[in-house]
Structure 1
């Protein structure tokens, strides 16, 4: 039987394959399309699930943004109210003294002003006497002329005395007015301070109004507030990342300063996990200093990474701060000594090589002092890394949420495209299958066309419909 199959020619095998493929055409089409629809629906369900997860993540990101924005706004509002309270306490504490001073100055000014008033002199009876004498004809009596001359001299003297008295009173008034100038200046100075305080309070009030408007938008959850918070989080993320990179450079410099002398302290022969014990000890020392810096920043309430520290009372928190600062100071001294020892060790190696080569070694104190100063100052500089670290942690949640939501959205789009592609691939495979068996399909189409033509025209070829066609038509 096998020999018979092997003896068959290739064209016969080709014909048999075409017939088999033609007979299996409908089940193959149904299987391909069923499999394509299965994968299409599965990927569509997966895309819908991913879209739903992306929506929940977006809602979660929105809640996180609003909560973080509320916390920051509340902190800003609290700080502004504290400033207004301190300013009002400072100024209102001086208000009674200022009020008393202003009242005294105003009373003194009022008294000087009353005393400086110009009082017109009372009119004398000389005018009536002179008028009566002038009515006497002078040409009839020479005594009248002498009287008039005497009156003239007396009037000149009285005028001179009145002028001097007026000048003296005017001088006294001017002295009183001049004495009022320092009081006016003091009043103007006091009122200027009050005005400055009022302007400062108004400015603080405007700042508080701005923070309150922003806080209301955040509480309402408006799209504008969410966009502002998202952009602010992104900016804070990259800025804090940049500052943390600089701090990492400081850690690296600090590590190289103390790594070699630390080998002399702990012994440089051992290793843990392929790393030297001295290197691990130097890194642990730097990390402990950074942790102490975090505690110091938490105790002074610059950062809020540990709510437990913030919940302590002021006395306990102050003690914890001074304890952490004292330990940090001790570690800084240790690092300064290690950095100085490093330079001594390097200088010893250099001097040994230079002695062997006949070269005199350079001065030691310049580089040793510089390294010791760096080793002492870097721990205190790394304390401020807590501020960008807090900002980085707070903004990283938002950034990770945004990136995750974008990834889920992209995955949903990819799944939908894959489902549509699989469905179109199934249709394409069906067309390719029909292309392979095109000849039997062509024959089938010709046969069906002939059958239809026979059914319409009849077996004799006449145009009259047959009995069978009439029955089919009825």
Structure 2
């Protein structure tokens, strides 16, 4: 390096100046090819990155379209399930309530007939008594003319009329009492009829509510089938909500499974051995984990048999008898495993008690043994608690299939949205890098010119002088051309004026001759 530096002169500064002049000269003569290389490379890289950005944008559109189709398909399936469930409920309502409508109709008809008969009987009453008062007054005003026989006859007639009036009044009162009794007997029939009509009204109201729910489900299904943007946005937000809620529930279930694992891990070491390992993991831990996973699987099969979840379509497509058998088998296995876990939890408490007693016996501390003896009588409380937890936790873990199904179905939508967002960011970054590559190439050309600014300044100075000389020559030639253009015009004008004067002279001569 020092030899190259002192190649041209013993003075390193002079030699460096010569090297700098040579480098600037070489860079100056290679300026145009270097500019073309830099610009071509920058433009090529820019076009390549822009093409990659267009490809990513097209992939983003295709993926967004695919996510939309998947979301609408899942929404259609869910809407069909809801509509099917509403039809099943309506069928159950009709079979349960409206199937007894003939008997209800007979009861209502019987009640109406009884009411009509009672009303008819109440209407058939004895005639009202005649106007006995007028008859008695008429007889009393008849003149007796002082004849005692006539007076006696009239008195007898009056007494007979009074007696008849009393008997008729008693008969009419008895008939009125009978009608009142018949009308009172109609009251239970009216109440029965009112109750039956209320029952019919409640049934019709329930059916009307179900039909309104079915109309809403059908409207939602039509919106999903049409693929409206509002429906897609609603489904997307619903999927995100289900994803986070199901994730939270699965996290809680995972913590419950961890507690269940801690309950049965230590007693399992007594059953399968605590010194054996499988791949660096204790066999007892693997056995406890397998039991928990089997419980989750049995719970999943149980809910699939009940058609609460639809993770395995083959189970839902079984006939009712086979599903019932599978449900009984899954529930039986789950109960057996829950009993095993309860016994293991109790065994864990016994092992902990034995371990504590062993530590106390080894410590040989009298006061510690006294404390243990005083607390031993309450050891059954945590034992019962552990047994109850060991029996309940398997059934709690069995219901993990419900949030798991929601999590799996919503995970597709969330992953699709995340992938679309990531591809969009990559496309934007690629486009920005392409623009940066083109601008960087231009910047490098300016930096290249900055390195050779001295020869470029000299070239620019000579170019300006040459342009000035060329401009002067151009101005002289332009002036000469203008004069050459003007001289023919003047000659032509002079020629035209001469012709005009000759014509005028000839006209004057002709006038003179005339």
Partner of 2:179: 173
Change (3 A) 1:242 1:4: closer
Instruction: Determine the structure 1 residue equivalent to 2:512.
Output: none
Stretch of structure 1 that moved more, 166-175 or 376-385? 166-175
CA distance in 2, matches of 1:351, 1:212: 69
1:423 aligns with 2:438: yes
Q: Would you say the 8 A contact 1:455–1:469 is kept in 2?
A: no
- CA deviation after TM superposition for structure 1 residue 60, in Å: 1.0
Cα 1:420–1:464 shift into 2, 3 Å: closer
CA-based RMSD: 2.6
> What is the CA–CA distance in structure 2 between the aligned matches of 1:467 and 1:418, rounded to whole Å?
52
TM-score (norm: length of structure 2): 0.85
Which residue number in structure 1 is paired with residue 83 of structure 2?
77
Aligned residues, how many? 468
- Larger mean CA deviation between 410-419 and 5-14 belongs to 5-14
Separation in 1 of the partners of 2:225 and 2:105?
43
2:326 pairs, out of 311, 320, 324, with 320
Contact between 1:136 and 1:144, CA under 8 Å: does it hold in 2?
no
Q: CA deviation at 1:464?
A: 6.6
CA distance in 2, matches of 1:271, 1:384: 32
2:476 corresponds, among 449, 465, 469, to 465
Residue 295 of structure 2 is aligned to residue 289 of structure 1: yes
Mapping for residues 65-464 of structure 1, pairs under 5 Å: 65-117=71-123, 119=125, 121=127, 124=130, 133=139, 136=142, 152-355=158-361, 356-358=364-366, 359-360=368-369, 361=372, 362-363=375-376, 364-458=379-473
Pairing 1:5–2:8 present? yes
Q: Tell me the distance in 2 between the aligned counterparts of 1:147 and 1:11.
A: 178
Distance 2:9 2:271 in 1: 87
1:376-405 CA distance string (max 9 Å, x none): 211111100011001110110111111111
Query: 3-state DSSP class of the match of 1:303?
Result: coil
CA distance in 1, matches of 2:138, 2:392: 106
Offset, 1:272? 2.1
CA distance in structure 2 between the aligned counterparts of 1:129 and 1:168, rounded to whole angstroms = 24
In the TM superposition, what whole-angstrom CA distance separates every residue of 1:181-232 from its partner, at most 9, and x where no partner exists? 1111111111111110000000000000000000011111111111111111
TM-score by length of 1: 0.92
- Structure 1 equivalent of residue 491 of structure 2: none
Contact kept in structure 1, 2:139 and 2:158, CA below 8 Å: no
Stretches of structure 2 lacking an aligned partner (at least 5 in a row):
486-514
160 and 309 in structure 1: CA distance in 2 versus 1, 3 angstrom threshold: same
The alpha-carbon deviation at position 52 of structure 1 amounts to 1.1
Distance (whole Å) between structure 2 residues aligned to residue 439 and residue 174 of structure 1: 133
Asked which structure has the greater CA Rg, the reply is 2
Distance 1:21 1:353 in 2: 88
Change (3 A) 1:127 1:348: closer
* Distance across 1 between alignment mates of 2:140 and 2:24: 163
Change (3 A) 1:464 1:210: closer
Deviating more after overlay: 140-149 vs 284-293: 140-149
The equivalent residue for 2:499 is none
How far apart are the structure 2 equivalents of 1:403 and 1:469? 77
Answer whether contact 1:339 1:371 (CA < 8 A) is retained: yes
CA-CA distance at 1:90 after TM superposition: 1.4
Q: Give the whole-Å Cα distance in 2 for the aligned partners of 1:343 and 1:409.
A: 57
**Aligned mates of 2:475, 2:360 — CA distance in 1:** 125
Measure how far apart 1:11 and its partner are: 2.3
The gaps in structure 1 that reach 5 residues or longer are none
Distance change >3 Å, CA 131–CA 262, structure 1 → 2: closer
1-side partners of 2:153 and 2:450: how far apart? 158
The alpha-carbon distance between structure 1 residues 139 and 255, as it changes in their structure 2 partners (threshold 3 A), is same
Counterpart contact for 1:269–1:276, Cα < 8 Å: yes
Greater mean deviation of Cα atoms: 93-102 or 142-151: 142-151
Tell which deviates more after alignment, 129-138 or 430-439.
129-138
Distance in 2 between the 1:143 and 1:438 partners? 172
- Aligned counterparts of 2:293 and 2:414: Cα–Cα separation in 1: 26
Query: Residue 334 of structure 1: CA displacement?
Result: 1.4
Distance 1:210 1:467 in 2: 89
Partner of 2:97, secondary structure, is helix
Which moved further from structure 2: 22-31 or 103-112?
22-31
Cα deviation digits, residues 250-288 of structure 1 (max 9, x gap):
100000001111111111112222221111111111111
Q: Residues of 2 paired with 1:195 and 1:97: CA distance? A: 16
Shift of 1:142: 7.3
1:19 to 20, 25, 30: 25
Deviations 1:13-63 (A, max 9, x none): 222222222222211111111111111111111111111111111111111
Distance 1:371 1:126, change over 3 A: closer
Mean CA deviation greater in 130-139 or 271-280 = 130-139
Cα distance in 2 for residues equivalent to 1:370 and 1:125: 94
| Contact kept? 1:32, 1:429, Cα under 8 Å | yes
